[in-house]
Chains A and B, each alone.
Chain A
Amino acid sequence: MHPALSVIIFTTASGTGYGLLVLLILLNINGLLPTSSGLGLAGFGVGLTLVTAGLLASTFHLGHPERAWRALSQWRSSWLSREGVVAIATYPAVGLFAIAWVFTGNTSGSWSLVGIVAALLAGATVACTGMIYASLKTIPQWHNFLTPTNYLLLALTGGAVWLMVIANFFSVGGNLPALLSLILLPLAWALKQAYWAYIDKVPSQHTIGSATGLGALGDVNLLEPPHTEPNFVQKEMGFKIARRHAKKLRKTALFLAFILPLALTAGVLVTSGTLNTLLALLALLSVSAGLLTERWLFFAEATHVSMLYYGGAKAQ
């Protein structure tokens, strides 16, 4: 599948933003983060900016962005529509909780209920994003449970690293934000490995023989394509990364998204002062670059069954 930059930026930025919001809210209502206005302002400021920037980026690949509001109407059948609805519903819930935090300094009692609703909505938005891809039967690499779980865990992991940087800046939360990154990074790493292991051996249900229905007559091969230049379907669905490049990029993604941030986070735990802040910032830079690489690969390694009609031997 063609890796569109706007969609890569959208899923990584929004995902990380939602992850940060979920962690901020849940840690705070459990008394693990102070309800200080500076932390609230920075945390919700960064979270909502990432979410909004991502959502705006997602409209860049639309043919008619001015009609984007129409995408809220078909929540009964479409995961994309559900994502839009839940994303919009998240704003007032997070907004209310953020106002209570920053301006009243009180997030207990019924405010914590608002917080739980906000965190659930933020998580649900990321789950909907994952389901947009997982629901497509036409793309074997995506059509499985690992897709939405990867989206959710990677969102939380990106959010945790952001939280570490912000908490570090305000010197709050003690070791907890760094410990959280130290737990989430290996988990996300393992889940991404599981996804890659799955797509490397995903059984190819469809072949050129079953796609054309001619398989029973003999061995089917494309003799002549329908036209000389690639059409929309081939440009959009036919993008395929060479296996050797994929291997290198997987290693790059692993290193930047998980291994390096893990080492840097461990450093954050044992250092203090300027070095501490620097290590946290480097971890954030690394994880951001790693997630962008991971997301690019998510598209580039996905294949579409329609390519069987253009000479693909099997959809894998």
Chain B
Amino acid sequence: MTMLPAQPSKKKLGLVIDLDTCVGCHACAVSCKEWNSGGHAAPLTDTNPYGKEPDGVWFNRIPTFEVSQPELGPTAGQTVHMPRSCLHCESPECVTVCPTGASYKRAEDGIVLVDEEKCIGCKLCSWACPYGAREYDTDAGVMKKCTLCVDRIYNENLDESERQPSCVTTCPAGARHFGDLGDADSAVSKLVDERDGFNLMDAIGYQPTNKYLPPRPKSGPGSSYRPLKIDQQETTDSRFLKWIDRLFSR
């Protein structure tokens, strides 16, 4: 049923992604692809993977943005890697536009899924998603999307530490966190509070569950970043080095 749950789910499982620590290594995307090629939404079809124009379904895409502050100087600013996947929104119109009931939001934990047996492949849900999170599988003729690793997080065959989305367990920088954002006392909710986590494209009103933690400023006001300058390297208190300096300055 593509009507949203009558009551918003109490439990809101989702991700918190730290843009300050993400190093843009794409390990989350690769790990996601690997797990999901055998998981709930398998296979994640690739077409022409080793050819000239490879294409295929991925649930994570990681663009890198440049944030410049020309008013602070030509080099002021920073690069920000932004891992993007389905945000499991609270009012996702990708679900409500679905004519068949294939797209649905789970009442118990808020995860947005596609029932591939019901999907007719009309692609309207991908048009309704502002985040470009849904990708059509041309081989299977159905829409695919991030499942929040629904086949891992409740999987009792896995060790408890492994019951997290694949992208989270893989991230070498610890930039991805998984938890219940509906519980104000959860570790992820506290992290969002402490770091002023934000929603992507908030104005469109889909109320994403996933949150992003802003990168700390690398220049300008509020920046704690103090790069060692060349002229700082030349000053030294060491008598020995000063003597060497005089010796070679003659």
Residues of A within 8 A of B (CB): 1, 61-65, 67-68, 70-74, 76-81, 84, 132, 135-139, 205-206, 208, 210-214, 217-227, 229-233, 236-237, 304-310
Q: Once the chains bind, are B70 and A219 in contact (CB under 8 Å)?
A: yes
**Given A63-B119, A78-B98, A137-B204, A306 contacting B129 (CB threshold 8 A):** yes
Contacts of B124 in A (CB 8 A): 78, 80, 132
Q: List 28 A-B contacts (CB under 8 A).
A: A1-B127, A61-B123, A64-B121, A70-B102, A70-B118, A70-B120, A73-B99, A74-B3, A78-B124, A79-B97, A80-B124, A81-B99, A135-B93, A136-B93, A138-B130, A210-B201, A211-B130, A217-B69, A221-B68, A222-B64, A231-B58, A233-B132, A233-B135, A236-B136, A306-B130, A309-B63, A309-B131, A310-B63
Closest chain A CB from B214 CB (angstroms): 7
Q: How many A-B residue pairs have CB under 8 A?
A: 206
Contacts of A205 in B (CB 8 A): 203
Q: Once the chains bind, are B61 and A231 in contact (CB under 8 Å)?
A: yes
Residues of chain B at interface, number, CB under 8 A: 73
- Let me know if B5 is at the binding interface, CB within 8 A: no
Contacts of A64 in B (CB 8 A): 119-121, 141-142
Residues of B within 8 A of A (CB): 1-4, 19, 26, 29, 53-58, 61-70, 76-80, 82, 84, 93, 95-102, 118-124, 126-132, 134-138, 140-142, 198-205, 212, 214-215, 217
Q: Once the chains bind, are B67 and A232 in contact (CB under 8 Å)?
A: no
Closest chain B CB from A232 CB (angstroms): 5
A223-B4 Cα distance, complex, nearest whole Å:
37
Query: Chain A at the B interface: mostly helix, strand, loop or mixed?
Result: mixed
Contacts of B3 in A (CB 8 A): 74, 76-77
Query: Chain B at the A interface: mostly helix, strand, loop or mixed?
Result: loop
Other CB < 8 Å A-B pairs besides A68-B120, A70-B118, A208-B65, 18 of them?
A62-B121, A67-B100, A67-B120, A70-B120, A74-B100, A78-B99, A80-B122, A81-B100, A137-B93, A137-B205, A213-B198, A213-B214, A214-B19, A214-B65, A229-B53, A232-B55, A232-B136, A237-B132
Q: Once the chains bind, are B122 and A71 in contact (CB under 8 Å)?
A: yes
Q: Once the chains bind, are B67 and A214 in contact (CB under 8 Å)?
A: yes
Contacts of A233 in B (CB 8 A): 126, 132, 134-135
